[in-house]
Structure 1
Amino acid sequence: MVNFVMVAGAWLGAWAWDAVVPALRAAGHGAYPLTLSGLAEKQGVPAGQQTHVRDVVAEVERLDLRDVVLVGHSYSGIPVGQAAQLIGDRLARVVFLDAEVPADGEPFASARVRAAIEENGGFWPPLTAEEYEGQGLTPEQVARITAGSVPHPGAGLTEPATLHGEPADLPATYVKCLLDWPEPGPEAARLLESPSWRLVTMDTGHWPMFSQPEELARLLLAEAGDGAPPPR
C-alpha cells in the first residue's frame, strides 16, 4: 500500500481529482487530494509559494503518512518538488504530471504571467473555455474545469523556489502529456538525465485528470509498483 497525495495546478483544488481517486482507493491505496491555500474551498487564505510547500508537508505529517507518492500537476510541481525534499523517509516517489519542476531561486511566473497578475489585483485569472481547445477535453469537461477554477494567488507564482538538495536525487517520474507539448521543458529534460528519474508519456492534453482519468489512475498505480508499467 502507498499513499498518494495529489495536488492540481493553478486555479484548481482537490476536486480536480474526483475521477481519479476511486480507482486508487479500489486498488487498496490511500488517495488524498489536496487543495492549496488560497484556492477552491480555501479561497481568501493568504498564500505564497512557501505556503503551498508547507500545505503539502503539513498534510503528510497531519495524516502521519508513509510510503508517500507525491503528485504535482502543472504549477504544483514546484511546491511538490520542494516538499518532497522535506518529508524525509516518508517519500516513496514524486510524480511530476506535465508539471513545472523547481529550480533554486527561480519563480514560476514569466513576464507575461506577472503582467496578468498585476492587472488582476494580485491574482492570475483562470483560462477561458476557448483556451482549453486542443487539449483532448470534451465540452462537458471544459465546462467542469472552468466552473470550478478560481483566480490563483499571485505570490505563489512570483516567489522563488527554495531547494534543500538536488532534485535530480529524488526518485521521480515525469509524465509528459503530448497534446500540450511533445517534449519536457529544459529543466525537466536536465533532471531526466538522472538515473533516479524516468519519463512516461500520455497521449492527451495538459489536464489528464479530466481527459483521461482512468488511464491516469493506471499510470499512477504502475509508478507506485502496482500493475504493469505504462508505455514510455
Structure 2
Amino acid sequence: MVNFVLVAGLRLGSWAWDDVVPHIREAGHGAHPLTLSGVAERRGTPAGQEIHVQDIVDEVVRRDLRDVVLVGHSYAGVPVGQAAQRIGERLAGVVFVDSSVPVDGKSFVSVWPDGGAEMTAAIERNQGFWPPVPASHYDGHGLTAEQIARIVDDSTPQPGLPLTEPAVLTEPLGSLRATYVLCGQAGDEPDDDVVQLVAGGHWRLVRMDTGHWPMFSRPRELARVLLDAAAE
C-alpha cells in the first residue's frame, strides 16, 4: 500500500483534496491530505518556509507512514521538494502537480519573472499576507461556477513569509524519483527548470488537459495520474 501525502497550493487547506481522496482509497491506498501552517483550519498559527517543510515531515513521522508519495500542488511543490529529502527510506516518490519546484537559496517569489516584486509589494500592503483573489482569477481553468465559488469561499489569506524565505536543498533535486504533472492546453511547455529535471532521467512528465486546479476540475483523472506515478 502506498501512502499519499497531499499538499495543496496557496490559500488552500486539506479540504481541496476532498474529491481526490475517495478515488485513492478505493484503489486500496492511503490518502492523507495536509493543511500547512497559517491557512484554513490552521489560520493564525506561525508560518514560514521551514515551518511548512517541517509540517510535511511531521505528518509522515507522526503517522509512521511508509512507502510515501509526497504530492505538492502549485506553491506546495517548494516545501514538498525539500521534505522529500528529509524522510529518507520512507519516501517512494514525489509528484509535483503544476507546481513550482524548490531552488536552493531561492524563494518562491524570487523565481517569478519580475523577481517577485509585485507579490512582495502586495504582501507588504496587506500586513504580511497575500490576500485571496476574486472569482475571475479562476476563469479559463475548466472549473464550474460552483467549483469556483467553493474555492473562493473557503480560501484564506496566505501568510507571506513562506513565499519570501529561501528553500534549502541538501542534494540535487534531480536525484529524486519524481513525476511532474503539467496542466494546460496541448502544446504548453513546462518551465526551463522542469525541462532540465526531466532531461536528467529520474523525472517523468505527464500532461493533463485542464487548468491549474485539477483536484477540482478533474479529480478522478488526477487520482489516476497519482496512482500511475506510484506504480512506476
The two structures have a TM-score, normalised by structure 2, of 0.95
Rounded to whole Å, the distance in 2 between the matches of 1:174 and 1:113 is 25
Identity of aligned residues (%): 62
Q: What amino acid sits opposite 2:131 in the alignment?
A: P
CA distance 1:180–1:59, shift in 2 (3 Å):
farther
Residue 15 of structure 1 corresponds to which residue in structure 2? 15
Alignment partner of 2:199: what SS?
coil
Alignment partner of 1:145: what SS?
helix
1:210 aligns with 2:216: yes
Residue 126 of structure 2 corresponds to which residue in structure 1? 120
Map 1:55-134 to 2 at 5 A. Answer: 55-109=55-109, 110-134=116-140
Q: Which 10-residue stretch deviates more, 136-145 or 175-184? A: 175-184
Rounded to whole Å, the distance in 2 between the matches of 1:186 and 1:158 is 21
CA deviation digits over 1:187-215, x for unaligned, max 9?
11221111110100000000000000011
CA distance 1:180–1:108, shift in 2 (3 Å):
farther
Residues 13 and 40, structure 2, Cα contact 8 Å, conserved in 1: yes
Alignment partner of 2:31: what SS?
strand
| Structure 2 unaligned spans of 5+ | 110-115
After TM superposition, what 4+ stretches of structure 1 lie above 2 angstroms from structure 2?
Answer: none
Residues 186 and 209, structure 2, Cα contact 8 Å, conserved in 1: no
Rounded to whole Å, the distance in 1 between the matches of 2:108 and 2:187 is 18
Rounded to whole Å, the distance in 1 between the matches of 2:81 and 2:214 is 20
Residues 179 and 206, structure 1, Cα contact 8 Å, conserved in 2: no
Residues 180 and 204, structure 1, Cα contact 8 Å, conserved in 2: no
1:151 aligns with 2:157: yes
Q: What amino acid sits opposite 2:162 in the alignment?
A: G
Rounded to whole Å, the distance in 2 between the matches of 1:58 and 1:181 is 39
| Structure 1 unaligned spans of 5+ | none
Match of 1:176 among 177, 182, 194: 182
CA deviation digits over 1:123-169, x for unaligned, max 9?
01122100111111110000010011011110010000001111000
